[in-house]
Amino acid sequence: MIEQYVLDLQEVDETQVAVVGGKAAHLGGLSRIEGIRVPAGFCVTTDAFRRIMAEAPSIDERLDRLSRLNPDDREAIRTLSAEIRRTIEGIAIPGDLAAAITRALAQLGEQAAYAVRSSATAEDMPTASFAGQQDTYLNVVGPAAVLQHVSRCCASLFTERAVTYRLRNGFDHRKVHMAVVVQQMVFPDAAGILFTADPVTGNRKVATVEAGFGLGEALVSGLVNPDVFKVRDGEIVAKTVAAKQRAVHALPAGGTREVAIDPQRQEQPALTDAQVVRLVQLGRRIEAHFGRPQDIEWCLVGDDFQIVQSRPITTLFPIPAARDRENHIYLSVGHQQMMTDPMKPLGLSMWQLTAMAPMHEAGGRLFVDATRRLASPASRAGFLEMVGRSDPLTRDALETVLDHHDFVPALPETDPAGPPAGGASAPIETDPAIVTELIERSQASIAALRRDIGTKTGPALFDFLLEAFQEHKRVLGDPLNMQAIMAGMEATWWLNDRLQEWLGEKNAADTLTLSAPGNVTSEMGLALLDVADVIRPNPEVVAFLRGVEDDGFLDELPKFAGGTESRDAIEAYLDLYGMRCVGEIDITRPRWRERPTTLVPVILDNVRNFEPGAAERRFEQGRQEARKKAQEVLERLRALPDGEQKADETKRMIDRVRTFIGYREYPKYGIISRYFVYKQALLEEAERLVQADVLPEKEDVFYLTFQELHDVVRTNQVDDKLIQQRKDAFRSYQALTPPRVLTSDGEAVAGAYRRDDVPTGALVGLPVSAGTIEGRARVILDMAQADLEPGDILVTAHTDPSWTPLFVAIAGLVTEVGGLMTHGAVIAREYGLPAVVSVVDATRLIPDGQRIRVHGSDGYVEILP
Distances (CA, A) of 676 to 280, 325, 591, 669, 801: 51, 39, 8, 11, 15
Q: Can you tell me the distance from the alpha carbon of 96 to that of 98, in angstroms, rounded to the nearest whole number?
A: 6
Residue 404 is a catalytic residue:
no
Q: Can you tell me the distance from the alpha carbon of 278 to that of 836, in angstroms, rounded to the nearest whole number?
A: 50
Dihedral Cα 369, 372, 373, 374, nearest 10 deg: 100
Distance between first and last Cα of the chain: 68
Catalytic residue among 149, 177, 710, 823: 823
Strand order in the sheet with 772-779: 763-764, 860-863, 851-855, 772-779, 793-796, 812-815, 835-837, 766-769
CA proximity to 296, closest of 184, 180, 210: 210
CB-CB contact of 224 with 248 (8 Å):
no
DSSP string, 226-254: PEEEEEETTEEEEEE-----EEEEE-TTS
CA proximity to 741, closest of 490, 467, 428, 402: 402
Enumerate the β-bridge partners of residue 366.
361
**H or E segment at 143?**
helix 143-155
What letter would DSSP give residue 194? E
CB-CB contact of 392 with 751 (8 Å):
yes
Phi, psi of 754 (to 5 degrees): -105, 75
Relative to beta strand 835-837, strand 812-815 is parallel
Enumerate the β-bridge partners of residue 79.
none
Phi, psi of 257 (to 5 degrees): -150, 155
Q: How far is CA 544 from the centre of its chain?
A: 36
**H or E segment at 463?**
helix 458-477
DSSP string, 32-75: TSTT-----EEEE-HHHHHHHHHTSTTHHHHHHHHHTS-TT-HH
Q: Can you tell me the distance from the alpha carbon of 77 to that of 769, in angstroms, rounded to the nearest whole number?
A: 46
Identify the burial level of 168 via C-beta atoms within 10 angstroms of its C-beta, where 0-12 means exposed, 13-18 middle and 19 or more buried. exposed
Length of the chain: 865
What letter would DSSP give residue 852? E
What letter would DSSP give residue 469? H
Helix (H, G, I), strand (E, B) or coil at 114: strand
Helices (H), 536-562: 539-546, 553-556
CB-CB contact of 127 with 198 (8 Å):
no
Phi, psi of 175 (to 5 degrees): -90, -5
Relative to beta strand 294-301, strand 235-240 is unpaired
What letter would DSSP give residue 255? S
CB-CB contact of 831 with 814 (8 Å):
no
Q: Can you tell me the distance from the alpha carbon of 524 to that of 576, in angstroms, rounded to the nearest whole number?
A: 8
Q: Can you tell me the distance from the alpha carbon of 219 to that of 771, in angstroms, rounded to the nearest whole number?
A: 51
Q: Which residues contact 399 (CB under 8 A, 6 or more apart)?
A: 384
Q: Can you tell me the distance from the alpha carbon of 156 to that of 75, in angstroms, rounded to the nearest whole number?
A: 18
| Vertex 57 angle, CA 51 and 59, to 5° | 80
Q: Helix, strand, coil % (nearest 5) of the chain?
A: 50, 15, 35
CA proximity to 331, closest of 293, 373, 381, 292: 373
Residues designated catalytic: 823
